[in-house]
Structure 1
Amino acid sequence: MSHITWEAPFCAEGANCFRIGTDTEGNAYIAVTGQEDRPLTDSREALRALILEIKAGKADHLL
């Protein structure tokens, strides 16, 4: 696995924290804080699309 540069943790209410990271090969990663050794990975474009859809409210029904 490439070296991942992690952003600061994002925490919602309570202890639900996750981190977003990227590597120099164009991959993006999401991991639960403290479990960065087991991230989900996809392209940066896929991560960008996911974030835009969440911001647009398309995941609100999951809350």
Structure 2
Amino acid sequence: MSDITWEDPFCGEGNNCFRIGTDVEGNAHIAVHGQEEHRVTDSIDALRTLIRDIKAGKADHLLD
């Protein structure tokens, strides 16, 4: 697997910090900050869709 270029951690309230990274093979990676070896990997297009859907409120029901 190619090296992953990780973005700076995105931290919400409390200790919920996530990192998003990409590699040269066109994969996107999401991990809890400090646990990058346990990541979810999918295509960059899938990550883009996930972020757009979250911003559009399609996951709001998970927060109730």
Matched residue type, 2:33: T
The 5 Å alignment of 1:47-62 reads 47-62=47-62
Q: Which runs of 5+ in 1 are unaligned?
A: none
The 5 Å alignment of 1:24-63 reads 24-63=24-63
Q: Which runs of 5+ in 2 are unaligned?
A: none
TM-score relative to the length of structure 1: 0.96
Shift of the alpha carbon at 1:38? 1.3
Partner of 1:18: 18
Shift of the alpha carbon at 1:2? 1.3
Partner of 2:2: 2
TM-score relative to the length of structure 2: 0.95
Matched residue type, 1:10: F
Shift of the alpha carbon at 1:21? 0.2
- Equivalents in 1 of 2:17, 2:4: separation in Å? 18
Count of residue pairs brought into register by the alignment: 63
Runs of 4+ more than 3 Å apart: none
- Equivalents in 1 of 2:11, 2:42: separation in Å? 21
